[in-house]
Amino acid sequence: MAYDYDLFVIGGGSGGVRAARVAAGETGAKVALAEEDRYGGTCVIRGCVPKKLMVFASGYSGAVAEAAAYGWDAKIGEFDWLSFRNRLEGELDRLEGIYRKLLSNAGVDSFDARAEITGPHSVKLSTGQEFTVKTILVATGGHPVVPDVSGAQHAITSNEVFHLDALPKRMLIVGGGYIACEFAGVMNGLGVDTHLWYRGDQVLRGFDEEARQIIVDGMIARGVTIHTELNVSDVVKQGDTVRVTDTNGNEHSFDEIMFATGRAPNSRDMGLEDVGVSLGRKGQIDVDSFSQTAVPSIYAIGDVTDRVNLTPVAIREGMAFVETVFKGNKTPVDHDLIPTAVFTQPEFGTVGLSEEEAAQQEPIEVYATSFRAMNVSFIDGPHKVLMKLVVSKATRKVLGCHIVGDGAGEMIQMAGIAVKMGATKEDFDRVCAVHPTVSEELVTMKSPVRTT
């Protein structure tokens, strides 16, 4: 049968765009892509990129204070939010243009429309156009979840936070994951009186416990007010003020409330289940190790599969899909030992198992040190860093590496190479230290601080 397209990609985020342009540009496949919103997806338009730029912006207030402590006659005025926001929106427009150009240059037909799957080999667009396709790739990403709370419509999510008309003077962020904690640091650094409420007993659930505590201590020292075991029960809008009732029955006033309480896959109303694609409890598309669904002609990658929801992972999944389907090289997706950076303030970099996960798996040794870095110690600042290695007693392999402090994201990328290669503690020990740096502690910790 002759199809209109060899591949039809639904979703113009990082994973979908990479798969489309590589399939078209490197294999000669006839490819189309449909995107109902903006090209670039969550990462470029509503996530990593604008968030990191906000992290950069928010860091200057603390940097000026440190400069003054070093002897500079340094002062800082108010942050011009509108100037920053306008420049940010211009940068996002530029990046979206690059994504569109990459597709065009690869020969991909792009459609600014919503796509629905009408059969194993057919799609229909919101424009009314219909196409037959040999293979369908779903890469529609995810969206923020707003809890079922009275008045929740008066809150914003991480989608809207980049486009505020003005910075709030006092803001509540609800949630305890990395998105909530990152934006708490950002808003605090921009001069907002920032409060973080989390229903659990400690934020950043799932990460290394020791690292979590160092991060929380650092957030509080920088000015974020954190309340755990507390949630929102009711939200009421009164003029420019948001009245929030907490689960203890107390009322609070804020200028803005942001829910950062999780994300869910964009899989609804696409016709997936009608054609036999299996969805999980959260709406995630069930796939095998090759990203193939229960329908052989339909594949899915990225956050819509709810495997490891990170942009570089979605790109890797897209590349593995092209290798498998269009290059005849069956390539399973490797989700093992993925380095991750969390742009809290202080920053966090992690790869491998937490101490708690490793201890449940096998006997371990823990090498860790927490201290004030040279630049902070010199001015008697309070902020501490953490360097930590979790090591298998039996194999001596480094099972996990956790770094809290400035540049943690940059450091964990390099440490991730060693951990991925199966480096042992002795391999780390054989590396000569780069002095004076924070990272030298990774290769100079000689004795474990505890064993299990």
- CB atoms under 10 Å from CB of 187, counted, come to 25
CA 43/CA 158 separation, integer angstroms: 11
CA 452/CA 433 separation, integer angstroms: 28
CA 124/CA 392 separation, integer angstroms: 53
29 and 80 Cβ atoms separated by less than 8 Å = no
Comparing CA positions, the residue from 143, 133, 141, 140 lying closest to residue 295 is: 133
- Residue 239 structure tokens: 């003029």
b/e 5-27 (16+ beta carbons within 10 angstroms → b) = bbbbbbbbbbbbbbbbbbbbbeb
Query: Judging by beta carbons within 10 Å of its beta carbon (0-12, 13-18, 19+), is residue 262 exposed, middle or buried?
Result: middle
- Residue 84 structure tokens: 């920053």
Is 163 an active-site residue? no
Query: Which residues are CB-contacts of 336 (< 8 A; sequence separation ≥ 6)?
Result: none
Comparing CA positions, the residue from 140, 109, 103 lying closest to residue 4 is: 109
Q: CA–CA distance from 225 to each of 120, 177, 408 (Å)?
A: 51, 16, 23
Residue 389 sits at the vertex; the CA angle it makes with 384 and 390, to the nearest 5 degrees, is 130
271 and 258 Cβ atoms separated by less than 8 Å = no
Query: Which residues are CB-contacts of 334 (< 8 A; sequence separation ≥ 6)?
Result: 316
- Residue 302 structure tokens: 């990225």
DSSP classification of residue 443: G
Residue type, 69: A
CA 107/CA 5 separation, integer angstroms: 12
Q: CA–CA distance from 86 to each of 41, 47, 50, 82, 164 (Å)?
A: 20, 17, 12, 6, 11
- Residue 281 structure tokens: 């409890």
91 and 97 Cβ atoms separated by less than 8 Å = no
CA 90/CA 167 separation, integer angstroms: 19
Q: Which helix (H) or strand (E) holds 45?
A: none
What residues form DSSP beta bridges with 242?
237, 254
Positions marked active-site: 435
